[in-house]
Structure 1
Amino acid sequence: MSEKYILYNPCAGGPETEKAVKALQDANEGAVAINICRIISYKTFFNGLDPNDTVILCGGDGTLNRFVNDVNGMNIPNKLYYYPTGTGNDFARDVGQKPFSDPTVCLNPYFERLPRVSVKGKSELFLNNVGFGIDGYCCEVGEKLREENKKRKKPKPVNYTKIAITGLLFHYKPKNVTVVVDGKRYQYKKVWLASVMNGRFYGGGMMPTPEQYRLREDGKVSILIFHDVGKLRGLMIFPSIFSGKHLKYTNQMTILEGKTIQVKYNEPAPLQIDGEVVPEVMEYTVRSCVSPAEKAKQDSEMAAV
C-alpha cells in the first residue's frame, strides 16, 4: 500500500503555515509530516520510499528553489505534488494554483528541464527568474528589514512595493547594461531591470514576460530589459509590469528570447535568484535546458560514435 509524505518548510509563509500543514495532514489520513529542515540527505530519504509513495512539498518559491538544487541529478520515481504556503507564490500563480489550495499540481514535469544561472563562479538551477536591477535591490533591502523584524516583538510584513517606489525615486541608480543573447550583443542605458524569466511571474505577481511558458519545447528563456527612462517616468511605468501592460511602452521595454543569455552591468548591483540575494554582482549567465529533441539528437550522435 502506498504512503503519503508531507515535506513542509516551517519558515515559509506566516503563522498560517503550521495550521495549514496540520489541516493537510488531517485531510490525508495516515500521511507523515516531515520538517524539510531536518532532512539531512534527500538521497537517503527517497531511497527509503516505495516508488508508488507520494510526496507533497509545502513551501514557497524559495523552498522549491532549494529543493530542486538539493535533488539535482537524482532520479526520483515518486510523484511530487505542491501545496503553496509561501508569501510570493509566483510558481503557483504561473501554473494556476492558489495559496493553500489542494495539492493537485504535479511538480515532476516542471523540475525535469530547468535553466541554470552562473554567477560569481557558482552555478545553480532556478525555477522562476534571475533578477538584476531594482528587483535585486528590493530583495536585498527586504532581507535586511526581515532581519530587523525578527528582533521586534511585533514584526511588520515587508512592503516590497514601498521599497521599489523609494528605490526608484531616491536610492537605486540605473546602470548601463550589455546583453548577449545566443551570441548577439545588445547595449542599453539607464537600465532599471534586466531579468531573465523561466515563467511569467516573479516578485509576488509581477509579469514581465507574459508569453514565457516554462514547459516550452525549445527550452528558451526570456529577458525583460526596462531601459532608457528617468526616475519619474520610470515610476509611472513600473506598476504596469504587474498587469503585463508595460509592453506598450516599446521605447522602454524590450523582451528577448534565447538559450544562452549573458548580462553585464557597468558597476556592481544586487542579483536575486528566485528571491535569494547575491550582492555586488557585475555579470551573470543563464543557460536553458536541453530540449527533448536536442537530447535525442545528442544521444543519437553519441551512439553513432
Structure 2
Amino acid sequence: MDTPDNRSIKIIFNPATRGGKAKKKLPKIEKLLKEIDIDYQLFETTAPLDAISMAEDAKKEGFNVVCSLGGDGTAHEVGNGAIRAGLTFASIPIGSGNDFVGGLGIDGRWQDGVSNLQDGEIKEISIVKANDRYSINILDAGIGGDIAKASEKHLKWITGSKKYSLLTIALLTRHKPYPVKLTIDGKEENCNLNLIAAGFGQTFGSGMNVLPGARFNHDKMSVAIIHDIGKFKFLRLFPKVFSAKHVEETKYVTMIRASEIIIEPDESHNKVLRGEAEGELFSEGRIKITAIPKGMKVLTPKDWDFNNRSVKIK
C-alpha cells in the first residue's frame, strides 16, 4: 500500500527547460525537498528522449514514483517511461507550459508540486496511445504538428501561448489542409483536415481549452476536429480556443468522443502529416490513436476532483 512514508522518488530534471533558465530554481527546490524530508534522488537528462528510458529504469533501481521536473515536454517523456514501467507519475512544474499538471490540480507553482510528493494521493487516469507513444494529456495532428516542428528551430526565445500563437499566424500564410481518411470507431470518412486533437486533458499550448469536455476518468477520449475552413476563418476561430468558445462553431468544428481513431494521409498529395503530444513530435504519416482507460497512475492533491470543469459535448 502506498503511503508518504514508503515513497521512494526518482526525480528527472530537464536542464534545458525554459532555455536553461529553470536551472536557477534547482537549489530552492532541493532545499524544500530536504526540509520536508522527501526520500528522493535527482537525475539530469543530457539528450532528447533521455527521460523516457530514465523513468523506465526507475523500477529496477528500487523507486516506486518517478517525478518530472520540467514542463509539459519533460512530463511527456517521464510519463511514457512511468507507464511502461507501471510506476506512479508525479510532477514539479517549472516549464513554460504546464497544462497537464494544471489539469491534475497543481496550479503551476513548483512549491505545490513538491508538497504533492508528500501529501498527494494516487489516482488512475485515462490516457491515449498514438502509434508507439503515449499521450498523457492531449495529442494533435495537422497544423499543430507543423507548429511543434517549427518551434524546434524558430522563436526559441519566446515561450508559452505567445509562441504558439505567433507560429500559428506565420504558418497559416502558406498553410493548406491535409487530405486524409479518418476512421473513427470503425466509421470511415474522407476529408480535408486542418487539425484534430484528442485526449483526456482539457488544455494544451499554455491554456488553450481545446477539449473543454474532457475528463481524466472518462473511458472515451474527447476529440476536436477543425475542418478545412480557409485561412482567414481559421484566424478568427483561433482566439476562441482559449475560452472554449470554438465548440459553438459547429459549422467548422466537430466535437465527439471516441475509443479509436485512425488518420491516413492521402499519399497522392505531397504534404506531410505530423503528430505531436505535449509539444513533442512523435509521428509523420499514418497515426493510430487508442484510448486506454485508467492507463496511468498519478500523484494528485487530495482535494483534486475529476469533474472540476465542465462543458457538455455529445
Q: TM-score, normalised by structure 2?
A: 0.75
Deviations along 1:264-292, one digit per CA (max 9) or x if unpaired, are: 233422221221124642x2111111569
Tell me how far apart the structure 2 counterparts of residues 203 and 241 of structure 1 sit (CA, whole Å). Answer: 10
SS of the equivalent of 1:28 reads: helix
Query: Mapping of 1:120-269 within 5 angstroms?
Result: 123-145=132-154, 156-157=157-158, 159-168=163-172, 170-189=173-192, 191-216=193-218, 219-266=219-266, 267=269, 268-269=272-273
Note closer, same or farther for the CA distance 1:223–1:163 as it changes in structure 2 (3 Å cut).
same
Deviations along 1:50-85, one digit per CA (max 9) or x if unpaired, are: 76xx65431212112211222334243xx6532111
Deviations along 1:233-287, one digit per CA (max 9) or x if unpaired, are: 1111111011100111110010121111112233422221221124642x21111
Note closer, same or farther for the CA distance 1:25–1:239 as it changes in structure 2 (3 Å cut).
same
Bigger Rg, structure 1 or 2? 1
Note closer, same or farther for the CA distance 1:108–1:67 as it changes in structure 2 (3 Å cut).
farther
| Counterpart selection for 2:123 from 98, 106, 109 | 109
Tell me how far apart the structure 1 counterparts of residues 102 and 229 of structure 2 sit (CA, whole Å). Answer: 29
SS of the equivalent of 1:144 reads: coil
Tell me how far apart the structure 2 counterparts of residues 92 and 290 of structure 1 sit (CA, whole Å). Answer: 18
Match of 2:22 in 1: 17
Note closer, same or farther for the CA distance 1:60–1:249 as it changes in structure 2 (3 Å cut).
same
Which amino acid is the alignment partner of residue 140 of structure 1?
A: K
SS of the equivalent of 1:98 reads: coil
CA contact (8 A) 1:80 1:107 kept: no
Could you list the runs of 5+ residues in structure 1 that have no partner in the other structure? Answer: 150-155, 293-305
Which amino acid is the alignment partner of residue 199 of structure 1?
A: G
Note closer, same or farther for the CA distance 1:289–1:4 as it changes in structure 2 (3 Å cut).
closer
Tell me how far apart the structure 2 counterparts of residues 273 and 240 of structure 1 sit (CA, whole Å). Answer: 21
Which amino acid is the alignment partner of residue 165 of structure 1?
A: I
Tell me how far apart the structure 1 counterparts of residues 221 and 154 of structure 2 sit (CA, whole Å). Answer: 31
SS of the equivalent of 1:204 reads: coil
Tell me how far apart the structure 2 counterparts of residues 164 and 42 of structure 1 sit (CA, whole Å). Answer: 33
User: How far apart are 1:16 and its partner, in Å?
Assistant: 4.4
Match of 1:94 in 2: 103
CA contact (8 A) 2:217 2:294 kept: no
Match of 1:300 in 2: none
User: How far apart are 1:12 and its partner, in Å?
Assistant: 2.1
Tell me how far apart the structure 2 counterparts of residues 141 and 284 of structure 1 sit (CA, whole Å). Answer: 20
Could you list the runs of 5+ residues in structure 2 that have no partner in the other structure? Answer: 296-314
Aligned-pair RMSD on alpha carbons? Answer: 2.8
SS of the equivalent of 1:96 reads: coil
Tell me how far apart the structure 2 counterparts of residues 212 and 15 of structure 1 sit (CA, whole Å). Answer: 33
Tell me how far apart the structure 2 counterparts of residues 291 and 57 of structure 1 sit (CA, whole Å). Answer: 20
User: How far apart are 1:127 and its partner, in Å?
Assistant: 0.9
**Bigger RCO of structures 1 and 2 (CA < 8 A, at least 6 apart):** 2
Note closer, same or farther for the CA distance 1:229–1:73 as it changes in structure 2 (3 Å cut).
closer
User: How far apart are 1:171 and its partner, in Å?
Assistant: 1.8
Q: TM-score, normalised by structure 1?
A: 0.77
How many residue pairs get aligned? The number is: 270
Tell me how far apart the structure 2 counterparts of residues 75 and 199 of structure 1 sit (CA, whole Å). Answer: 20
SS of the equivalent of 2:106 reads: coil
Tell me how far apart the structure 2 counterparts of residues 17 and 36 of structure 1 sit (CA, whole Å). Answer: 13
CA contact (8 A) 1:228 1:251 kept: no
SS of the equivalent of 2:85 reads: coil
Note closer, same or farther for the CA distance 1:232–1:243 as it changes in structure 2 (3 Å cut).
same
CA contact (8 A) 2:66 2:78 kept: no
CA contact (8 A) 2:56 2:84 kept: no
Identity of paired residues, percent?
Answer: 23
